[in-house]
Chains A and B, each alone.
Chain A
Amino acid sequence: MADAACTAFPGKTPPRTWSRALLLTLPIALWSLFMSLRGLLQPDRSLRIASALTAALMVVLFYMMMKTSSTYRWRRWFFVALGVLFPIEFIHNVMVLRGSMGIPIEEMIAGRTPFCFLPIPLLILPAALTKTLVFPGSLLPGGGMAGAGMAAMAGLWLAITLVVGKGWCSYACFFGGIEEGMAALPKKAQWKKLDPRLRLVPWAVLLAMVLLSLALFEPAYCMWLCPFKAVSEYVAARNTVGLVQNGIFVVLFAALVIVLPLLTKKRTQCTFLCPFGAFQSIFNKTSVFDIKIDRTVCSPCVLCQKSCPTMSLTDDSIKRGETLMSCMKCGACVDACPKGAAVWHIRGTQVAVKPERARLMFLYAAWAMAAMFGGSIITQGVATILQRVI
């Protein structure tokens, strides 16, 4: 059936033989093994097992991507695992080190607040104007939960962004997996009509948070709007303001990460709130990889539009043969298109000419980053669980 469809629609890549898929997986298998070497050589048995399991997961998922020529559903397994295991490992560490998910003020003063990538756009203006980082962390490794420090996180972010651009949101973000998992649960969306103007909200949030962070000299998004504070850590409620802040985190998490993805089958937090996602969209313009719609074979069935988890395809963009700049290269539209009109593409090359080559090149780069960054988080999460079980 699939082969017949591929013959009829040349943009659709046929499933590969197992030997060819295996051959294409070999570089990623070696890379995953290399990335997990440090864990495999540890004396801690849980960490060794977790490293082996993670490497196996990354290799099997990549093999399935090669074998079936489908990207989205296999990537989703990795992404959901990342989204679920990150809070498990993080909350476990916080509880062991501090006994609470609330950041005490002394930890902030000591510069031991863990720094994730979300505040990066908020720090740029104060840093540029006053050389000041408006975040209670450490630039260099600072002990406790400070991890490797803000410079290392920023360095990692820039390096991965250089490689995958907005693909960060599909292959590196350790928060998006929870809502992607939620969106995958129902068979059909209950809410199908979503106002497309809502897509602009993240840009408004980004602008507001950047200006507020400059004016208040604090990471305003982390202090007031980040839904993932509910599953990581939050400012310990020392007064009424703190209680209000924590209430906002919980309500936004419940609404945007749990309930709305279940109702809409979309990544609603990413689509309607995340200022980092909006900021990261800018890097879609610098990435060499993108998704195109081959207008010569597209009959506008809008299946691609329906499948897009971030509403990055509109009637107009399909007519133009491209996605919006918020596209995070998850591959859902390519997999959903029955005619192979939605294709992976390398800028400068002709649309729908060797789209599988473009897909392979992107996936090698993106999966290498996923195995390196996300893989290490998955390993830590699995090891945390194993330490409890064995």
Chain B
Amino acid sequence: MKWPSSKLGYTAAGMTVLAAVLVPFLLMGLFTKGFTKLGLHVDEMYSGGPTVRTIQENGYTIAIHRAVYPHMLQTEKPFVQLDWKPISALPQHVSETVDVDGGGQPDVRVSFDVPKDPKTPLRVDVDSLNPQYQAMRNVSKQKFSELIVRVDDAILVRVPLTGR
């Protein structure tokens, strides 16, 4: 009775050594591809969610993302992300009304300076023209749901929503 189990054990050990040889050439790539095919995506609280609409302005665009709602006990507020890009085409001071929900009426007025030095901290003011969106005063980047940051060639503003 010992012989078959012993044979199986050595076979499995041999296959493990073989698997070790195959890790850099086959297994690692295979498993990596497998993970990418699972259809997983990074939490929208970090990524900001997919872009749903783009507004063309003079030389730059405003990308409007789908509203992001917190999961379960996440402490952040729901928000919508607006991207101004490219930064090089933005005026020194941006102050404009944005129709966030595509209803034909402006929902918020967003105002911020665009400093030439990319390391200068950004500050944003948001006036609410629609009670669905919260006003913000002199906000920097304390929370994921209320911020203004520079990411690559875009300035991202996240405007919190009032309800869930």
Contact = CB atoms under 8 A, between A and B. Distances in A.
B41 A131 contact: yes
A64 to B, nearest CB: 20
Contacts of B46: 108-109, 111, 135-136
A139 B28 contact: no
A364 B17 contact: yes
A217 B74 contact: yes
30 contacts: A105-B141, A105-B149, A106-B151, A108-B46, A109-B46, A109-B47, A109-B48, A109-B144, A109-B156, A110-B152, A130-B71, A135-B46, A139-B35, A139-B36, A154-B32, A158-B31, A163-B16, A217-B43, A217-B70, A288-B9, A289-B13, A289-B16, A346-B9, A348-B8, A349-B9, A361-B16, A361-B17, A365-B17, A366-B20, A369-B20
A105 B5 CA distance: 55
A132 B68 CA distance: 13
Contacts of A126: 43
B52 to A, nearest CB: 18
Contacts of A137: 42
Interface in B26-77: 27-36, 38-48, 70-75
A105 B144 CA distance: 8
A139 B23 contact: no
A163 B20 contact: yes
A155 B6 contact: no
Nearest to A345: B9
B16 A288 contact: yes
Given A346-B9, A368-B21, A133 B70 contact: no
B147 interface: yes
Interface of B: 2, 5-10, 12-14, 16-17, 19-21, 23-24, 27-36, 38-48, 70-75, 141-142, 144, 147, 149-152, 156
Q: 7 shortest A-B CB distances, which residue pairs?
A: A348-B9, A155-B32, A155-B31, A365-B20, A151-B35, A106-B149, A136-B46
Contact of B19 (A104, A162, A217): A162
Residue of B17, B33, B46 most packed against chain A (CB within 10 A): B46
A172 to B, nearest CB: 11
Nearest to B150: A106
Interface string A148-167: 00111011101110110000
Contacts of A35: 24
Given A139-B36, A214-B72, A346-B13, A238 B142 contact: yes
Contacts of B17: 361, 364-365, 368
B142 to A, nearest CB: 5
